[in-house]
Amino acid sequence: MTRFAAPIAEQIWDMKYRFKAADGTPKDVTVEDTWRRIARDLAQVEKKPKVWEDRFFAALEDFKYLPAGRITAGAGTARRVTLFNCFVMGTVPDSMSGIFDMLKEAALTMQQGGGIGYDFSTIRPRGADVLGVSADASGPLSFMDVWDAMCRTIMSAGSRRGAMMATMRCDHPDVEDFIAAKSDPARLRMFNMSVLVTDDFMEAVKSDDSWDLKFGDKVYRTLQARDLWNRIMQATYDYAEPGVIFIDRINKANNLSYVETIAATNPCGEQPLPPYGACLLGSINLARLVSDPFGDKPHLDVEALNTLVATAVRMMDNVVDVSQFPLEAQAREAQAKRRIGLGVTGLADALLMVGLRYGSDEGAAQTEAWLKAIARASYLASVELAKEKGAFPLFDADSYLASGTMQQMDEDVRDAIRQHGIRNALLTSIAPTGTISLYAGNVSSGIEPVFAYAYTRKVLQKDGSRTEEEVVDYAVQMWRELKGDAPLPDYFVNAQTLAPADHVKMQAAAQKWVDSSISKTINCPEDISFEAFKDVYMQAWDSGCKGCTTYRPNDVTGSVLSVSESSEKTPSETPAQISEGGDVIYMSDPLDRPSELEGNTYKIKWPDSEHALYITINDVVISGHRRPFEVFINSKNMEHFAWTVALTRMISAVFRRGGDVSFVVEELKAVFDPRGGAWMGGKYIPSILAAIGGVIEKHMIATGFIAGEGLGLKTDPQAQVVGLDAPRGPACSACGQFDLRMIEGCMTCGSCGHSKCSG
C-alpha cells in the first residue's frame, strides 16, 4: 500500500524531497523514511528526543502537517544547508562600499538557496549629488541591475535558484522608474517588485491630493497622488508588476513594532520581515482534517486541528535551533525573535468537502473561523513552550500586547501571554505551497481556489518515451471515489470562473487571523476593464488586506493553462505543426532530426587555455527559413568535457523546441567569471560561456535568424503554440510542460511544482 494519493505525489517526492546519496541511490527508501528523518532531526534538541520524534512523525504522517520544502528536503541529511526559505537582507547603505557589502551578503545567501528581499528606497535617487566625487548618483535602479546580474551568475554556477524581491517607497523620487522597469522584458528578470504604499498615500489617492517625491529632507518633485496610483495600476495591468504592499498597515499590526520597522518582504510577500529577518514556513493540510467529507455531517475535526497545530509549532520552533544560516546576523535575528510562519494548504478542497463555495459569504466566514482556530491554537501552544523553554529574548509583555494584531486576540490568550510570555514573536503566515500541495496528493494550494479539477500531463519515461496521466484535484478525486460518476455540485468553482472580488473576499477573511501576511494571486480575466481592475486594489485596501497581487493574462504576461467549461480535463496535447509562412513558433514536441543538416564550425581560443574550443552549429530549413537546430562543443581539454557536453545537450534541446531561441545568446553573454574574463577581438568578454554566446550570435546573424548584434530577444518569448485545442502559456523551465499558472504570486508549474519563487 502506498501512502501517496496520486502518481504525481510520488514523483514530486522522488524528485524534490527524497534523500539520496551523491550517486543517486535513495537513502529514503519510502516516504515513511522521509518523515522519520525529519522528525528525528527536529527532535534532537528536546530533552526527550524519542518521545517527540514519534509525535513529530505522527504529525507528518499522511501529509497532515507539511513543512516547507527546504525542511522536507534538508532536515536530517547532514548537509550544510539552511532550512529557512527566504530572508530580508540588511538595510542598504547609501554609499558605494556599503552597497557592495550588501551585494556580497546577498550572493552568500542565494548560494545556499535562500530567496531574498531588499528595500532599495534607502539609495539616493538618480541625479542626486554625490559629495566628494563631483558626480551625480546613478540611482537605485542601476544597482538593482547589478543585483539582477549577480542572481543570474549564481544560477549559472549551478546553485539552487532563489528568487529576489525589490521594494521601493511610494514617495521615493525614482519610484516612477521603478514602476515602469518591467516594461523592458530584458530588465530585472530575477526580481519580483512591489511598491511600499503608505496610509497617507492612499488617503491622498482617495481625496485626489498632491504627493511629494522626496529623499531625506529634499522634495524632488510634486505630482497628483492619483496619477502615481494610476501609473502603478497601469503597469500591473500590463505586466503583472509591481505588486502593492500596504506597509503602514503591516507595521501597525506587527507584534514586534516596538523593536523593529519593516520595509521589505520575502519574494512572495507573505513574510514582511525586518533587516536580516528569515521566514520559517509550514502548512496545516486542511483537506486531511475533514471528517465525513461530502457526507451528511461534514466538518473539520477541531480537536485534531488543535493537536496538530501545537505539534507543528513545536517542530517549527526547533528548526530555529537546528538550522544553519548563511550569515551570522540572520542567526542572531532568528534566535532573538523566533518568528515562525504556520499556514494552511488545501483550504479550497476542505471547503468543497463541507459543501461550501469558495468565495461565497459562507465560505469566507468558515475560512475566517478556521484561521482563527489555528491562530488561537498557535498562540496557546507557543505560550506552553514559553513555560517550558522560555519566551523569545526580546519579549516585553506590555509592548507586545499593545500591537495591532494582539489587540484583537481573545482575552484568554492575551492573559496567558501576559502571565507566561510567548516563545515565538509571530506565528502565522500563508506561504506558497505549489510543490508541497502536489506532494500531498494535489490538494488545492494555500488559500487559493482549485485551479483545475483535472488536467493531463505528459510524463517522461526512462526509455525516453512519454506517457499521459491524468492529474486530478484531491477533493474531486475523493468525490469520484465516494459518488462515482455523479456530477459535481454547483458549489464546485475554480480559478477559471471565480470573480476577482471573491478572491479579495477570501484573502481579507484569512488576513484577520494571520499575523504576518498572505501569498495569494487574484486572477483577473483578460478582458477586465482598467477601472474594474483598479477597483480590485481598492477593495483589497478597504477590506484590510496587507498587500495585493493580481494576474491578468495578456500578450505580455502570457496566457495560462486553459480548462474547458464542458469538461473536467484540459485539452490533450497534439503533434506539432509548422505554419506555411515559416513563422517562428513553439512546438508541443521537439522536431525529429533530419538525416542531413547545414552547419558551420567556429574556433575559440580562450587565453590561458591549452586547447581551443570548436563549436559546430547546425541548422534546419523550414519553409525556406534557416534556423538553429543543434550545437556541438568540442575540446581536447578534458577539464571542459562535462560542462561542454551538458551545454551541448541543453542548448540543442532548447533549439529543437522551436520559438525565438535568440534569448539563449543573451543568457550566455550575461555570464561573467569571477576569476576574470578576457579581451578578444578588441572587446572584453566576461567568460568563456559569454564567448560561446557570441559565436552563436554571430552564426544567427550570418544565417539571417536575427538582424544584428544585440538584437536577439533577451527573454524567452511568449509564442504561439499550434496544433492545440486551446491557448496555452509558456513552457516550464524545469520540466518543459506547458502547465504554468499564476498561483500565490508566482508562476508555478502544475506538472512538477517548479516555481520562480521557490526554486
Q: 706 — phi, psi (to 5°)?
A: -130, 160
Rg for the chain, CA atoms, rounded: 26
**pLDDT per residue over 542-586, tens digit each?**
999 999 999 998 777 765 444 433 333 332 333 333 333 333 434
Asked whether residue 161 carries a pLDDT value surpassing 70, the answer given is no
pLDDT at 316: 98
Mean pLDDT is lowest, of 160-174, 281-295, 403-417, 566-580, for 566-580
Task: Provide the grid cell at 732.
Answer: 516550464
Q: Are 651 and 664 in contact (CB under 8 A)?
A: yes
Q: What share of the chain is helix, strand, coil (3-state, %, to 5)?
A: 40, 20, 45
Kindly write down the DSSP assignment for every residue of 508-533, as one continuous string: HHHHTT-SS-B---EE--TT--HHHH
Burial of 64 (0-12, 13-18, 19+ CB in 10 A): buried
Contact indicator for 205, 197 with CB cutoff of 8 Å: no
pLDDT for the residue 162: 60
Strands (E), 544-646: 547-548, 550-551, 598-604, 613-622, 625-635
Helices (H) and strands (E) in the chain, counts: 24, 29
Poorest-pLDDT segment among 120-134, 432-446, 639-653: 639-653
Q: Which residue has the higher pLDDT, 421 or 605?
A: 421
Cβ(435)–Cβ(755) below 8 Å = yes
CB atoms within 10 A of CB 207: 9
For 27-146, list the strands marked E by DSSP. Answer: 65-67, 86-88, 115-119, 129-130, 135-136
Report the distance separating Cα 142 and Cα 126, nearest Å. Answer: 9
Question: Can you give the pLDDT at residue 436?
Answer: 94
Residue 360 has pLDDT above 80, yes or no: yes
Q: What confidence score (pLDDT) does residue 650 get?
A: 87
- Res 462: pLDDT: 62
Residue 717, pLDDT > 60, answer no
What backbone torsions phi and psi does residue 726 show, to the nearest 5 degrees? -150, 155
pLDDT tens across 501-517, in order? 999 999 999 999 999 99
Q: What is the pLDDT of residue 569?
A: 35
Name the pLDDT band for 713 (thresholds 50, 70, 90).
low
CA 684 – CA 377 distance, rounded (Å): 60
Name the residue with higher pLDDT: 604 or 297. Answer: 297
Residue 532: pLDDT above 70? yes
Sign (positive or negative) of CA dihedral 695, 700, 703, 709: negative
The secondary structure of 681-729, three-state, reads: CCEEECCHHHHHHHHHHHHHHHCCCCCCCCCCCCCCCCCCECCCCCCCC
Query: Percentage of residues in the chain with pLDDT exceeding 70?
Result: 87
Read off the amino acid at residue 581: G
The enclosing H or E element of 459 equals: strand 454-460
For the annotated catalytic residues, the residue numbers are 266, 268, 270
Given a cut of 60, is residue 393 above it in pLDDT? yes
Q: Is 255 exposed, middle or buried (CB count within 10 Å of its CB: 0-12, 13-18, 19+)?
A: buried
For residue 725, name the pLDDT band (cuts at 50, 70, 90). Answer: very low
Residue spans per domain, the chain: 86-253, 598-702
* pLDDT over threshold 60, residue 149: yes
What is the pTM (predicted TM-score) of this model? 0.79
The pLDDT assigned to 734 comes to 59
